[in-house]
Structure 1
Amino acid sequence: MEINNNFARCGKCGRFYNPTTHDSCPYCGEGAPPPTEGAGFSPSGVPPTEKAPGGRASGGVPPTERAPRGASTTGGFSPTEPPHRAVPSPDGMGGGSFQNTIIGGGLNVDGGVEPVVGWLVCIDGPSRGSDYRLHAGYNYIGREEGDVRIGGDQQISRRSHAMIAFDDVDAVYFVGPSAGRNLIKVNGRTVLNAMELKNYDVITIGTSKLIFVALCGEHFNWGKV
């Protein structure tokens, strides 16, 4: 086979090509000069569009701009940051929707301290030695929810097992069942309806016994201070 003298043989792939029409081998690219930055060159490999009169490219598409050295050329998206992880609060609880609840003695609707009017002290049961503050109005007793929460006693309903009420006008205390499944007793006697509660009465609820200590009465009342 006779080869035209105008053809050159590629030193890499061995194929023949016309050097007068190709600056490098059209088959493997051998001999092609490396691209240099300058007019018509974009780091992303896509030539920038030319600006049409008025500052816009033809077709209504804004002209592309050359990305600065070191900048991302993958569409301009910033690197994805790892998801934020919640830092536990100092008390060991997460910073989620849970909040500490004050048992009695909290803040009233006016933002002031809600005065304590008496206490319950656990003298027998899983929470023996614990004390619970009482406020004016209704105090609901439960194992996990309520104004008075007696934890650890599975015989006490989760919420509203019983209630203690204080009438701050007449300075009188009452105790009675609420929505609990098990009965309550005062000084060993079953209570089916609300009854007046006296200082040092012993309330049995679940397997726990609580002694009642009144603050308000003949000698002291917040309404007279």
Structure 2
Amino acid sequence: MAQIECGRGHLYDPDKYPTCPYCKTNQQITVAAAGRTAPVRTTAVNPTAPVPVTAPQPTAPLSRTPVTAPQKTQPPKGYTPVTEDSRTQPPRGYAPTPVTAPSKTMPPRGYAPQPAPEPTAPPRGLGVSVAQAGKTVAMMQQEMGFDPVVGWLVCVEGPSRGKSYTVRGGINAIGRSERMDITVTGDMTISAENHARISYSDRNNRFNLIPGEGRNIVYLNGEELFSPMPLKAYDLIDFGQTKLLFVPLCGERFRWEDKEGDRHGSAT
């Protein structure tokens, strides 16, 4: 007997099967007339309706917990995060020892440091060696055994007005420095060293005023001094804000005698 087609396109023998055996077993067959593979359905389907094509569904996870981004491990209770600004706290009662420069070894108890001995200045009138004085010894000092006074300078105008300065044999340097033979303080217009010099020659029994290396000009009785000039009694030396009056001791009426008493004259 010829085969018949069911409503779903299956061909079967109606003598052997009262209904389509393919529909009962959910099988699919190739329908040559349709030219395509029909899907297996358990329910009646309109053969003319188009088969919807849907996007593939993702595989469901095994567990019911949704898959999310990785979660960070939670720290235990009481945990304090360590940051860059936090510092380790020292234990209670701890006192840090300050870092200081290397300390010197402490002397034993009862030890008293001895001060460095100060150089003893020789009394005026006594001869000193070249090493002690730090300068060349004058001829009169070498021959007489002491450094004699040969005259004075008296400040009659300026910051040191009323003060006197001793002039001795040989070269006397004038300036503000304490290393000078004649130290004039208080007047900043006077150079620290060698602003001017006064000389006394015991051989010729004569005084001279010699210009030094000062910035300001030296005046003798109001005239500029650029070369050595003889210095006489009551001559006025002017430099800066200071004026000095010269008072000689040695001269025509007095000369120092040496040890033998045959070179230097005496008072007449």
TM class, shorter-length = 0.5 to 0.7
With the length of structure 1 as denominator, give the TM-score of the two structures: 0.55
Number of aligned residues: 139
Which one of the candidate residues 149, 152, 159 is aligned to 2:186? Answer: 152
Which one of the candidate residues 90, 95, 113 is aligned to 1:84? Answer: 113
Which one of the candidate residues 221, 225, 237 is aligned to 1:187? Answer: 221
Q: Distance in 1 between matches of 2:207 and 2:113?
A: 51
TM-superposed CA distance for 1:85, in Å, is 6.4
The runs of 5 or more residues in structure 1 that have no matched partner are 1-77, 87-94
Which one of the candidate residues 188, 211, 218 is aligned to 2:245? Answer: 211
Deviations 1:142-186 (A, max 9, x none): 112311001111111111111000111111110021121111101
Pairing of 1:6-85 with structure 2 (within 5 A): 79=108, 84=113
**Structure 1 pair 101–192 and aligned structure 2 pair: CA distance change class (3 A):** farther
Instruction: Name the residue aligned to 1:171.
Output: 205
Which one of the candidate residues 113, 124, 130 is aligned to 2:157? Answer: 124
**Structure 1 pair 105–123 and aligned structure 2 pair: CA distance change class (3 A):** farther
Contact kept, 8 Å, 1:105 with 1:134, in 2: the verdict is: no
TM-superposed CA distance for 1:123, in Å, is 0.5
The runs of 5 or more residues in structure 2 that have no matched partner are 1-106, 128-140, 257-263
TM-superposed CA distance for 1:122, in Å, is 0.5
Instruction: Name the residue aligned to 2:265.
Output: 224
Which one of the candidate residues 157, 169, 178 is aligned to 1:136? Answer: 169
With the length of structure 2 as denominator, give the TM-score of the two structures: 0.46
Letter in 2 for 1:224: G
Q: Distance in 1 between matches of 2:111 and 2:254?
A: 60
Instruction: Name the residue aligned to 2:146.
Output: 113
Richer in strand (by share): 1
Contact kept, 8 Å, 1:125 with 1:153, in 2: the verdict is: yes
Q: Distance in 2 between matches of 1:79 and 1:166?
A: 58
**Structure 1 pair 158–97 and aligned structure 2 pair: CA distance change class (3 A):** farther
The secondary structure found in structure 2 opposite 1:224 is: coil
Letter in 1 for 2:204: D
Percent of residue pairs bearing the same amino acid type = 39
**Structure 1 pair 210–136 and aligned structure 2 pair: CA distance change class (3 A):** same
TM-superposed CA distance for 1:216, in Å, is 1.2
